[in-house]
Chains A and B, each alone.
Chain A
Amino acid sequence: MAQKKGGKSAASDDPEELARTPLQAVLLADTFNLKFRPITLERPKVLLPLVNTPMIDYTLAWLESVGVEEVFLFCCAHAEQVKEYIGNSHWGQSHAGFSITTIESNFSMSAGDALRFIEGKNVIRGDFILITGDTISNMSLTEALQAHKDRRKKDPDTVMTMFVKRSKPMPLTHQTRLGNDEIMMAIDPETKQLLYYEDRFDCSKRAVTLDKSLLADNASLYLRTDLEDCCIDICSPEVLTIFLDNFDYQHLRRHFVKGLLHDDIMGKKIYTHEIDSSYTARVDNYRSYDTISKDIIQRWSFPLVPDVLYAGNRAQMRLQREGIYKAPDVTLSPSVRIGAFTAIGSGTIIGENSSVSNSVIGELCTIGRNVSIDGCYIWDSVTIEDGCRLSHSIVCDGVHLHTGATLEPGVILSFKVEVGQNITVPAYSKVSLLPQPSKQDSDEELEYADTNSGIIDSPSIASISPANIEHDHVSSFDTEQSVLLEGGLSGVGYIWTSCETGNEEEWRYSVAPIPVEKLKEFYAKMFDEDESSSDGEQTGITHSGELISESKSTDFDDSDGEYKGDVSKFEKEVEETFERALGGVAEENVQLEINSLRMSFNVTHAECAGAVFQSVIKSAIIASNSSKSNLLKATIDAIERSKGLLSYFITNVDEEIEVILKFEEMCMEITREFAPIFSSVLHQLYDKEVITEDAILKWESEKADADESDKVFVKQSEAFLKVFSHLNFSTGVSVLQRLYGAMTSLKLL
């Protein structure tokens, strides 16, 4: 526990006096956004269960454990439900040195409004913790609190200490593991002062715009994208007055933090405190709901874990081997397969041959036979009949899935929805008993508690649905009206069309893992950049822009990317060696050098042959001085000159094919000037016995079922190839002579 309670009038600015005020916290039990709709229409977000315990319990338990003595619980949407929950739980009973005061306001639309309202109440007397009711943490506050107080003593303009935690965003999607966008922060390495904050950092541009004065005023600053905003702040009382003065501040980060950072006149300062070993995260969207649930099951939030933190009335879950949490009164058929990292709440029954993995199942659920559940969050009192398949979905209280229903990844079923027999709910759909509000609301909209106070009975839905049909995409199975049409298939609920984010972005915030195709798409994008940069390197034409992406490609820590980079590096090395060879180094030495390069870069013989050939061609470009007429001649010269070298490295058919493919690739991409004379060069290679006819024929057959665009060069060499296929049938001197004739004609082409 921190300091003992001082006098109530201790609101003076004297730091000694401040130290004696009890530690206070403002807990916003409303998040002022719509990310958890449709579920939040019926229940406030802070009461949604996270591994079978309401989120607010985690937050309150943390506040209680760090020595906070007074909590001001700000309720807005569904304030009645929050108050009722707090009243009935053990938090409602008086604890020594821990009191919860609820503050209710029905017209606050944002965090800014809430803080202005609290300022009006005049209850905050000293530094306070600002936290939302969906934050999970187990960190210790003492150090940061002391640091904050020390800074305040030195500089009264310090208004806030923000907690940040190191966490790497995904390199492909530039998305944190919590599903948020990458955050870019500029921090003074000495004082830890926050200098720049951008939460909608545009990663595609790979550029950041900083105010010039930032760089001029600070001797050094760290630009960091590997930090996660914990959404826990230690605030000075001035924060409330700043909100009061700037009545347009709504969002804590987007308006308040950015506003202060941009405002030079007030000179208010924000500092950061980086936590290392402890865990902190905020449930902001469905993806973070999934991630944090898994973190809790893996016990990162210890001691706030399911077998310790439980306030319900039923039997507590106990941890067993392999991270399986199970209440003692769970009824499982012997043939049920429970996978690792699964939690099953008290009173749940699971029937024969069902399998559950990576999932959380609430209390008093009934699950039938042959059901498969993977990565789902099933809340309390859910009924799942035989043969249902569920993957990566959230299923709220009282949902009923009839026999054979299937939930595809990312489905959200809100309270008491019913899914009929053998119905498949498509991926990412959100189904609720309540119709979707027709008007799309802005980001900072309030969820009005009174408009949807009760759960409307299903018959009334049937009567509403025709009227709403324009707004709500009601699918064939989800209203009672359609029940009659489908003949006995029952199902209740509206399918919501995706709001705000749009369908494209749905996967980003979904509870389901990112689909493989999406990852591939991102990977391909990444790969393209990579490719182009290494190509730029080969031709020696490096623009400054490409230079950046080149450095990026070496940073990129995907194994495949690294490998690719290796090959291009190898090619570059070979090229340099070859250039030196032109300068008069003995051929054996060049062979030796290239061989050792091949081994040190660990590339295959074929790749090596390709690289050598590429160097030859490039030397030809340089020799020809980029005039087209000279090119062929220069190429022939180059081939003639390095014939020995080529034949040394090109020993079998595979390598020959590689050389042809390489040449083809070069003609298509980097050395386009060769494209018109492709077949002539090919012929020349054959002539000089660098490439055998076998290789050429194989190449042709390989290309036989390629795309039309890939066949350009095959077509170009058609005449040449024809001769070969002809050769296969007839033998003899005359044929050979004809062949030579054909070749000379080709040469003229």
Chain B
Amino acid sequence: MPDVSDFILKLQRRRIEGSHATARQTAELLRSVVSQTRMPYTNQAAALLDAVRAVGEQLIAANPVELAVGNIVRRVLHIIREEDLSSSAVSFEGLMISEKSDDEDDADHKGGPVLSAAAVAAAARSTLRPRSLQTLLEDGPLPAAPSKSSSAGDSEGKSKSDKSAVGKRLKHSVIEAINLLIEEIDDCYEDISEQAVEHIHQNEVILTLGRSKTVKEFLYAAKQKNRSFRVFVAEGAPRYQGHVLAKELIQKGLETTVITDSAIFAMISRVNMVIVGAHAIMANGGVIAPVGMNMLALAAQRHAVPFVVVAGSHKLCPLYPHNPEVLLNELKSPSDLIDFGEFSDCMDFGAHGGAPLMHVVNPTFDYVPPNLVSLFITDTGGHNAAHMYKLIADYYSADDLVIKRKSTSSN
């Protein structure tokens, strides 16, 4: 598929930046992969899973540092499993479940596709994941949700009459669920910033580092609710995205102070709360974030300032970090730090016995261990670092943690 190889090339050449854009494009690509997959008569879910896994494996290999790709691939795999369960439930149990499955089409967007997908698979949920407090709570209101009998009747008739129709239905519902996933990725800013007023209070001083769109929307929302507060922006060397953020905040009428990264420790005692964005949140509650974040988190801990991480659910990664400073990091070009022309005489390898004397290291990410994070705010609400693994378990199937083309599909 040409668009797959195109996207892989873009990922490889680092031409897509930011988890949001990557997540959205990955989801769109996988949607087209699902829609183009030819469905066999039997074991259709397995065929879909294999197709997505095959593409997903390449995508993840193309840029292993961009964890959002893997997250979305696993989310889609999870969606396929759940839809399969629910549709097989339909064919065996009949009308009642199929009504529920159609529910999902009309499900409230704010609730997100995961909840609706979870609702679809309600009957077989216990086989997929352990019962958590959240799933128990979701179970309650679902049967009471309104259903449209006409569409339910339609699908029921189809599913019973023709096997290939079931296949189409599975594909169709998977695509619908992926659409919801894309919507959820787009809406995550709104969902997160709705919670802003609960966290930002009058006359507080907020410190952030670099530029995160989630943080920006979060602060905008608080401002819109007429909270008056001040923002300190650490500039975020070497890319200085903090400068951009400061400009944007000032346009919205927020009182903003730009500080250097090295002044963080000096300023932190005046700060009420640190709010930062993240590149990815690992299953242990550790955070992969732009470089400098670990220093900020340590400073916040030292002065007992709450350290809050805001991130959309597409940044939740089901993997546990191993040696994240090296393996989940990317070293960019030294030209961000120093001017090549100015230092070219220091890099003349002819002069000093051939060994380079000057080394420049420009890492993109920092790893912030979970114990330094006070609170995570995702589109489903606030969470403690220790509970992240449970939240993450709701989004992914345990079978999909390792994505290998050869692995036989369970179920």
A-side residues, CB < 8 A to B, are 61, 64-65, 93-96, 138, 165-168, 170-173, 175, 177, 179, 226, 276-279, 287, 290-291, 294-295, 298-303, 308-309, 319-321, 323, 340-341, 357-358, 374-375, 392, 512-514, 516, 519
Residues of A contacting B: mostly = loop
Provide the bound-state CA to CA distance between A299 and B330, in Å.
11
Q: Give me 12 other A-B pairs in contact (C-beta within 8 A), A170-B348, A358-B356 excluded.
A: A96-B2, A96-B6, A166-B340, A177-B349, A277-B335, A291-B348, A298-B334, A299-B362, A300-B334, A302-B332, A302-B333, A513-B350
| Contact in complex: A320, B326 (CB < 8 Å) | yes
| Contact in complex: B351, A170 (CB < 8 Å) | yes
| Contact in complex: A301, B349 (CB < 8 Å) | no
Question: Which of B331, B348, B355 is close to A319, meaning CB atoms less than 8 Å apart?
Answer: B331
Q: How far is the CB of A501 from chain B (nearest CB, A)?
A: 16
- CB-defined contacts of B334 to chain A, threshold 8 Å: 298-300
- CB-defined contacts of A299 to chain B, threshold 8 Å: 331-334, 362
- CB-CB under 8 A for A298 and B356, given A167-B344, A170-B345: yes
Provide the bound-state CA to CA distance between A323 and B347, in Å.
16
| Contact in complex: B13, A170 (CB < 8 Å) | no
| Contact in complex: A321, B5 (CB < 8 Å) | no
- CB-defined contacts of A308 to chain B, threshold 8 Å: 12-14
B359 at the interface (CB under 8 A from A): yes
Interface string of B317-355 (1 = CB under 8 A from A): 000000000100001111110011110110111111111
| Contact in complex: A276, B339 (CB < 8 Å) | yes
- CB-defined contacts of B362 to chain A, threshold 8 Å: 299
| Contact in complex: A278, B335 (CB < 8 Å) | yes
Q: What is the chain B residue whose CB lies nearest that of A358?
A: B355
| Contact in complex: B340, A341 (CB < 8 Å) | no
20 intermolecular pairs with C-beta atoms under 8 Å apart: A61-B13, A93-B5, A94-B2, A95-B5, A96-B2, A138-B333, A166-B340, A167-B344, A172-B351, A277-B340, A287-B350, A294-B349, A299-B331, A300-B333, A300-B334, A301-B333, A302-B331, A303-B12, A513-B350, A514-B351
Q: What is the chain A residue whose CB lies nearest that of B350?
A: A514
Provide the bound-state CA to CA distance between A166 and B334, in Å.
16
Question: Which of A172, A309, A512 is close to B354, meaning CB atoms less than 8 Å apart?
Answer: A512
**CB-CB nearest 4 A-B residue pairs:** A166-B341, A513-B354, A302-B333, A167-B344
Provide the bound-state CA to CA distance between A516 and B353, in Å.
8
B9 at the interface (CB under 8 A from A): yes
Question: Which of A95, A294, A298, A513 is close to B9, meaning CB atoms less than 8 Å apart?
Answer: A95
Question: Which of B326, B335, B351 is close to A279, meaning CB atoms less than 8 Å apart?
Answer: B335
Considering the complex, which residues of chain B in the window 58-80 have a beta carbon less than 8 Å from any beta carbon of chain A?
A: none
| Contact in complex: B15, A177 (CB < 8 Å) | no
Q: How far is the CB of A264 from chain B (nearest CB, A)?
A: 32
Q: What is the chain A residue whose CB lies nearest that of B362?
A: A299
Provide the bound-state CA to CA distance between A308 and B356, in Å.
22
Provide the bound-state CA to CA distance between A299 and B333, in Å.
5
| Contact in complex: B350, A276 (CB < 8 Å) | no
| Contact in complex: B354, A290 (CB < 8 Å) | yes
Q: What is the chain A residue whose CB lies nearest that of B11?
A: A308
- CB-CB under 8 A for A519 and B333, given A166-B340, A294-B356, A300-B340: no
Q: What is the chain A residue whose CB lies nearest that of B342?
A: A166
Q: What is the chain B residue whose CB lies nearest that of A339?
A: B355
| Contact in complex: B14, A303 (CB < 8 Å) | yes
| Contact in complex: B341, A513 (CB < 8 Å) | no
Provide the bound-state CA to CA distance between A308 and B332, in Å.
11
Q: How far is the CB of A230 from chain B (nearest CB, A)?
A: 12
| Contact in complex: B13, A279 (CB < 8 Å) | no
- CB-defined contacts of B21 to chain A, threshold 8 Å: none
- CB-CB under 8 A for A65 and B13, given A138-B333, A277-B335, A298-B359: yes
B360 at the interface (CB under 8 A from A): yes
Provide the bound-state CA to CA distance between A95 and B6, in Å.
7
| Contact in complex: A513, B335 (CB < 8 Å) | no
Q: What is the chain A residue whose CB lies nearest that of B64?
A: A318
- CB-defined contacts of B349 to chain A, threshold 8 Å: 177, 290-291, 294, 513
Provide the bound-state CA to CA distance between A512 and B354, in Å.
7
Considering the complex, which residues of chain B in the window 14-30 have a beta carbon less than 8 Å from any beta carbon of chain A?
A: 14-15
Question: Which of A95, A167, A170, A375 is close to B341, meaning CB atoms less than 8 Å apart?
Answer: A167
| Contact in complex: B348, A177 (CB < 8 Å) | yes
Q: What is the chain B residue whose CB lies nearest that of A302?
A: B333
| Contact in complex: A323, B359 (CB < 8 Å) | yes
Provide the bound-state CA to CA distance between A171 and B15, in Å.
39
Interface string of B62-104 (1 = CB under 8 A from A): 0000000000000000000000000000000000000000000
- CB-CB under 8 A for A170 and B356, given A226-B341, A302-B332: no
Q: How far is the CB of B4 from chain A (nearest CB, A)?
A: 11
Q: How far is the CB of B344 from chain A (nearest CB, A)?
A: 4
- CB-defined contacts of B352 to chain A, threshold 8 Å: 513
Q: What is the chain B residue whose CB lies nearest that of A62?
A: B13
Question: Which of B336, B344, B347, B355 is close to A166, meaning CB atoms less than 8 Å apart?
Answer: B344
- CB-defined contacts of A276 to chain B, threshold 8 Å: 339-341
Q: How far is the CB of B146 from chain A (nearest CB, A)?
A: 45
Question: Which of B336, B342, B351 is close to A513, meaning CB atoms less than 8 Å apart?
Answer: B351
- CB-defined contacts of B336 to chain A, threshold 8 Å: 277
- CB-defined contacts of A358 to chain B, threshold 8 Å: 354-356
Q: How far is the CB of A595 from chain B (nearest CB, A)?
A: 38
Q: What is the chain B residue whose CB lies nearest that of A97?
A: B6
Provide the bound-state CA to CA distance between A374 and B353, in Å.
11
Provide the bound-state CA to CA distance between A278 and B348, in Å.
18
Provide the bound-state CA to CA distance between A323 and B363, in Å.
12
Q: How far is the CB of A705 from chain B (nearest CB, A)?
A: 33
Q: How far is the CB of B30 from chain A (nearest CB, A)?
A: 19
Q: What is the chain A residue whose CB lies nearest that of B3?
A: A96
Question: Which of A64, A175, A278, A321 is close to B350, meaning CB atoms less than 8 Å apart?
Answer: A175
- CB-defined contacts of B355 to chain A, threshold 8 Å: 357-358, 375
Provide the bound-state CA to CA distance between A374 and B326, in Å.
25
Q: How far is the CB of A580 from chain B (nearest CB, A)?
A: 42
- CB-defined contacts of B335 to chain A, threshold 8 Å: 277-279, 300
Provide the bound-state CA to CA distance between A679 and B348, in Å.
50
Provide the bound-state CA to CA distance between A514 and B349, in Å.
9
- CB-CB under 8 A for A341 and B344, given A278-B335, A298-B334: no
Q: How far is the CB of B60 from chain A (nearest CB, A)?
A: 13
Q: How far is the CB of B88 from chain A (nearest CB, A)?
A: 39
Q: How far is the CB of A67 from chain B (nearest CB, A)?
A: 11
| Contact in complex: A168, B344 (CB < 8 Å) | yes
Provide the bound-state CA to CA distance between A276 and B343, in Å.
12
Provide the bound-state CA to CA distance between A295 and B349, in Å.
10
Q: What is the chain B residue whose CB lies nearest that of A297?
A: B356
Q: What is the chain A residue whose CB lies nearest that of B353?
A: A513
| Contact in complex: B345, A168 (CB < 8 Å) | yes
- Among the interface residues B6, B326, B353, which one has the most CB atoms of the partner chain A within 10 A? B353
- Among the interface residues B335, B345, B348, B362, which one has the most CB atoms of the partner chain A within 10 A? B348
- CB-defined contacts of B14 to chain A, threshold 8 Å: 302-303, 308
Q: What is the chain A residue whose CB lies nearest that of B355?
A: A358
- CB-defined contacts of B341 to chain A, threshold 8 Å: 165-168, 226, 276
- CB-defined contacts of B347 to chain A, threshold 8 Å: 177, 291, 294-295, 298
Provide the bound-state CA to CA distance between A72 and B260, in Å.
48
- CB-defined contacts of B331 to chain A, threshold 8 Å: 299, 302, 319
Q: What is the chain A residue whose CB lies nearest that of B356?
A: A294
Provide the bound-state CA to CA distance between A392 and B336, in Å.
30
Question: Which of B13, B339, B342, B350 is close to A177, meaning CB atoms less than 8 Å apart?
Answer: B350
- CB-defined contacts of B339 to chain A, threshold 8 Å: 166, 276-277
- CB-defined contacts of A302 to chain B, threshold 8 Å: 14, 331-333
